[in-house]
Structure formats: C-alpha cells, structure tokens
C-alpha cells in the first residue's frame, strides 16, 4: 500500500546499516516497490533466511506483505498426526508484526507437501480431519493473516479436476466446504483459490473462472483468485493476460498475483535479462490496469534462494534481485 513514512525500528532490522552493492548504484535513491503502488507488494519468505542481514534489509525495505514459502503448509505443520510445529510460522508472524507487514497465508488445502498419514484416511474421517486442520490453522492466526490461499492447484491443464485425495474421497464439494470452514474460523480474512498456468485465457483458467462463478452463485465465501505467474522465457508471455484479469474482475472478485517469477535457461545474458524485465513489467502493469487486482507478490525476491534451479535443472535467475542482492533489469522495469 502507498506509504512514504520512515520505517520504525530501522536499526533493529538492519536497514540503516546495510548498503546496496556498488553495482546497484542509485538503488537506495529510488522509493521501494511498496511505496510506488496502492497494491500490496509481497514476497515468499523462508524465515531461516531472515538471519542474513542483506536479505532481511531488502525484504524489509521493498515489501509490505510476506507469504510463508513452506511454514504454513500441512506437511510442515503436522507431519505427525496431532503434533503441530508452529515454530517457522510463528517466526514469520513475529517478523511481520515487527516490520508492519501483512501476511498471505499459504496454503490450507493442497495435494502436495501433504502429511503421508492423510492419504490413508477413509472419506468420513478425511472430511473431519480436513475441517479440523483448516479450523486449527486459521484460528491460530485469526486477525494476523490478511488473506489465505484456501485451495491450491485444484485443476489439470485441460480444465478437469486434479485427481487428488480430496477429489477422490470427498468429491467436488470439498472446495466449497473448505471456504466455508475458513470463513467460520476467521471472518475477516480474504479467501482465495490459487493456481499456476491461469495467467492467460486457456482451458485451465476458464475452468477456474467457471468454478468461482458457480461458487459465488451458491453463496460460498470466496473473495478472490490467486494467479501464481510462474513464467518461463521458453514459453513466451501468456496470451490474453489482461483479458483474463478483466473477466475475473467482472465477477467482483479480487485478483492477486501470488507467486511471480520469470525463469530462464542458464547462463543469463543481456538479451534474456531484457526479456525477463519485459515479462515482469507486463505482469506488473497488467495488475495495475485491473481495478480488482489488489496484490503483486513474487515467489522469493533474490536468485540466492530461488526454488527454480532445484525444480527446473538448467534454469534459474528468476527473481528481481541477483544472488548478491543487486537489483536486476526486471526490478528497474517495474520501479522506474
């Protein structure tokens, strides 16, 4: 959100004692991203990285929202049934409170990073356990989490429902149930469905559109659609991006860019970095052209800690800052 006041407690968080690398000359003369827009500007965060002074300083300076990269996922919170580990999530909540940032909770219902014991439950017990999980997690952070990714990655690329344990045993209705349970646990949090490859107009985004339209008609408390925006130079920029945002906005739903990054084949070069900057700018500008787009969050902000190389061998350099915390052309493209 638009804020131009000095950040309280700068000495405590390390901003005032950290200086941008020489290659980033001029960086600290520009306002941070969070101060040039009325949208929330966020990044995914792993709390352990907050111990790195330069990481913490850039995160604190640039962003007003944080998303836990793994710390609020079911597999992290309750790997063993009935034994919750809140340590990572609580650390991020403390950091957000200290630095006056909002939190995007991620994620309540997802087929991946799921405790192994969940897969073996019979349908009736699974429904009860899922409700308990949502209620427990959302209630713990009631009033502390601005928005939740309630259901994550529910569709296949062709627009059919993903064959998850929830779909198999609970049927189509599990999505509506999840939103209702989350709303009961925290009436003030914004509730989203979230997915990847729904940036442009395609079968997957159309299936998501039809689902959320149906949920709204049924009175299900869904507030928005999260568009992940994991892009790759190899596949080009998504066709129909702005039209897609427009149609979701016409449903009177909020829209959030939730996990933006733009990966490239390595090594990087000037041409690739220029194209990456163009993609980031189009994502950013498209969000700002859509009245209902309320958030622009990246999946990490520095190549030092990006998830991309581990998942896409031979690709990387997907973030706004390089591994030495220097702003890249993509950063300057949206902060110009």
259 among known catalytic residues: yes
Residue 249: burial class (beta carbons within 10 Å; 0-12, 13-18, 19+) = middle
Considering the candidates 259, 282, 295, 315, report the single residue annotated as catalytic.
259
Residue 218: burial class (beta carbons within 10 Å; 0-12, 13-18, 19+) = exposed
Considering the candidates 78, 153, 199, 295, report the single residue annotated as catalytic.
153
Vertex 104: Cα angle to 102 and 106 (nearest 5):
155
295 among known catalytic residues: no
CB 209 within 8 A of CB 240: no
Give the Cα separation of 188 and 33 in Å (integer): 26
Instruction: List, by residue number, the catalytic residues.
Output: 153, 259
């Amino acid at each position: 959100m638009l804020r131009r006041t000095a950040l309280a407690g700068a000495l405590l968080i390390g901003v005032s004692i950290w200086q941008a690398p020489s290659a980033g000359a001029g960086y600290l003369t520009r306002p941070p991203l969070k101060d040039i827009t009325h949208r929330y500007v966020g990044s995914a965060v792993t709390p352990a990285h907050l111990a790195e002074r330069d990481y913490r300083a850039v995160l604190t300076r640039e962003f007003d929202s944080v998303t836990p990269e793994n710390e609020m996922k079911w597999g992290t919170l309750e790997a063993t049934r009935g034994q919750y580990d809140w340590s990572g999530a609580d650390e991020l909540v403390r950091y957000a409170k200290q630095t006056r940032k909002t939190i995007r909770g991620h994620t309540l219902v997802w087929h991946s990073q799921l405790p192994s014991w969940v897969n073996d439950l019979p349908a009736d017990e699974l429904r009860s356990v899922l409700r308990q999980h949502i209620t427990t997690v959302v209630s713990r952070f009631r009033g502390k989490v601005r928005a939740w990714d309630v259901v994550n990655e529910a569709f296949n690329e062709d627009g059919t429902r993903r064959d998850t344990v929830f779909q198999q045993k609970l049927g189509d209705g599990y999505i509506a149930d999840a939103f209702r349970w989350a709303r009961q646990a925290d009436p003030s949090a914004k509730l989203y469905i979230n997915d990847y490859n729904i940036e442009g107009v395609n079968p997957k985004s159309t299936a998501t559109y039809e689902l959320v339209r149906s949920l709204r008609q049924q009175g299900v408390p869904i507030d928005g659609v999260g568009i992940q925006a994991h892009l790759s130079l190899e596949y080009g920029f998504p066709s129909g991006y702005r039209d897609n945002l427009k149609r979701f906005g016409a449903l009177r739903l909020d829209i959030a860019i939730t996990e933006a990054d733009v990966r490239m084949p390595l090594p990087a070069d000037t041409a690739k970095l220029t194209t990456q900057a163009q993609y980031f700018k189009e994502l950013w500008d498209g969000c700002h052209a859509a009245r209902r787009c309320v958030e622009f969050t990246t999946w990490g902000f520095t190549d030092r800690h990006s998830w991309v190389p581990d998942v896409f061998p031979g690709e990387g350099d997907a973030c706004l800052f390089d591994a030495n915390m220097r702003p890249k052309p993509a950063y300057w493209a949206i902060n110009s």
